[in-house]
Chains A and B, each alone.
Chain A
Amino acid sequence: DTEVTQTPKHLVMGMTNKKSLKCEQHMGHRAMYWYKQKAKKPPELMFVYSYEKLSINESVPSRFSPECPNSSLLNLHLHALQPEDSALYLCASSQAITVAGNQPQHFGDGTRLSIL
């Protein structure tokens, strides 16, 4: 079992639906991340939150809207997605981001998203 919990595990939605992905960690980590992973490709960073503030947005389309309500929770709100957005969405957390950049990231098992 991973220490980062993501729900739901699977999600099928139409292009006009609104849904949210949830991520939770109780390791006291102050940095949280969203990644997108397509089949047979590595994870690609979407967003970074540091101390509940958005610090990196990798030019992600506005149909993806992240939210960090508190230090343990991270949401990804989805609206008007396209079929090419079908992928595995991974959440990760780490100790506070340092100048050295040596913090390992702890990943959840992801939400498998399919857009019809």
Chain B
Amino acid sequence: SQKIEQNSEALNIQEGKTATLTCNYTNYSPAYLQWYRQDPGRGPVFLLLIRENEKEKRKERLKVTFDTTLKQSLFHITASQPADSATYLCALVFGNTGKLIFGQGTTLQVKP
């Protein structure tokens, strides 16, 4: 069955550094991969979507890469700030179903 994994449950970094989060998937070849942010007690918020033929996508301080050979996506936050502290979820959509499968999430803590 399809599987999506985020390597770290938690990541602690110093303010100003770059945070890098990893998402790996198996037994599937998605056309798209999405990243969401979730704050405690809130619903996930969509951040970025990347297509299989895009190597990299950027939005302000965020950058996502998608390597279909390695079956891996990397999510980078540059010049991190304490306000970036949250849980980040990667997700795959299965074809034309709308079914979104999430990784376990990585909780990022940015310390001042």
Contact = CB atoms under 8 A, between A and B. Distances in A.
Interface string B30-66: 1110100000011111100101000000000000000
A92 B45 CA distance: 10
B16 to A, nearest CB: 28
- Interface range, B side: 20 to 34
B100 interface: yes
B102 A43 contact: yes
A2 B89 CA distance: 18
Given A42-B103, A42-B104, A43-B102, A55 B44 contact: no
A92 B41 CA distance: 15
Nearest to B46: A104
Given A101-B31, A101-B93, A105-B46, A41 B104 contact: yes
Contacts, number: 73
Contacts of B96: 97-101
A108 B46 contact: no
B95 interface: yes
B2 interface: no
Q: How large is the interface on A (under 10, 10 to 19, 20 to 34, 35 or more residues)?
A: 20 to 34
Interface in B61-112: 89, 93-105
Interface in A1-45: 2, 4, 31, 33, 41-45
A109 B42 contact: yes
Contacts of A33: 98, 100
A94 B98 contact: yes
Contact of A107 (B41, B44, B99): B44
Interface string A39-79: 00111110010100001100000000000000000000000
A98 B51 CA distance: 14
Interface of B: 30-32, 34, 41-46, 49, 51, 89, 93-105
Given A100-B32, A103-B98, 12 more contacts: A4-B43, A33-B100, A42-B102, A42-B104, A43-B100, A45-B100, A48-B98, A99-B95, A101-B95, A102-B51, A105-B46, A109-B43
